[in-house]
Amino acid sequence: MTVKGTVLVTGGAGYIGSHCALYLRENGWETVILDNLSTGHKESALGQRLVVGDVGDGALLDSVFKTRSISAVMHFAASAYVGESVTDPAKYYRNNVVNGLALLDAMRRNGVSNLVFSSTCAVYGNPERTPLTETHPKAPISPYGFSKLAFERMAEDFSSAYGLKPVFLRYFNAAGADPEGRLGENHDPETHLIPLAIQAALGRRGPVTVFGADYPTPDGTCVRDYVHVMDLADAHLKAMEHLLNGGAPSAFNLGSGTGYSVREVVAMVEKVGGKSVPVIEGPRRAGDPPALVASSARALETLGWKPRYAELEAIVKTAYEWHKKQVGSF
């Protein structure tokens, strides 16, 4: 296969970044993964070029840019726990904003303008209406959300002043695993519902806590929009190609357009795995909106992107198969 170019993937040893790096390789792109391995896993690079270091290290970034002909940057490197961001906001502003500025400066110094940024629906805060479109007011309610929005604003200002070409991809709930079983979701600590429910079903952790059962939703539990990690990878590739083909900077929501409650997700894990999921009920968590559902119409219209794993069952199946193989990993 002819190599189409080289992409710098920051945070490419993490959950979403590693799936995107793999997808890029399978579609003819060479990757350079930059990851400090604070939350990523060396083995997730799957033999691709891995530079161990921090995205805030300007000299290291200059070295990568000067020794490789980088066509575009995909920026995943970030701290990403909402709750932790409330108790340790300094970490989030340092990692997500200060280090992000170092990356933008390095791109400017080295003449690289194409940027695809791993953003989040947390930039919107509590939804005024659903499904959420990209024109929804942005009012984050956590330092994590603020830090992601701050990077977006910095990139927009670099676009106006220096010609940076950014695309912001605002995910809803990333889930699932590589269908071939090479990669999956392995966080420590794990906070995402689907892997928690699967691990509970497999007897690798205790009961899943349902945080709040009195929301104004059909079954009283929070409703979320789940998007498969390989669909996210496809969106990143399409966003990069959009930029390389002269497309304008933009922001895109990425979701399935369908919401599932906590109880529906637990029931689906039980259906897919054939094992019960132990559940206990707890109080609501501060800042949890009742429902978050995406409109991805802009991504369809502009990028030609739509989820291939649109159904919750398909998402859960890939995750369940990966977790079953991880004997002794948890």
Tell me which residues are annotated as active site. Answer: 144
* Angle ∠(104,14,147) on CA atoms, nearest 5: 45
Cβ count near 128 (within 10 Å)? 10
3-class SS of residue 190: coil
CA 179 to chain centre: 17
Residue 171: in which H helix or E strand, if any?
strand 165-171
Question: Which tokens is 11 given?
Answer: 């945070």
Question: Which tokens is 10 given?
Answer: 């920051």
3-class SS of residue 81: coil
Within 13 Å, how many C-alpha atoms sit on residue 130's CB side?
A: 20
Question: Which tokens is 214 given?
Answer: 């009195």
- Whose tokens are 């200060």? That residue is 98
Distance CA 54, CA 139 (A): 29
> What is the Cα gyration radius of the chain?
19
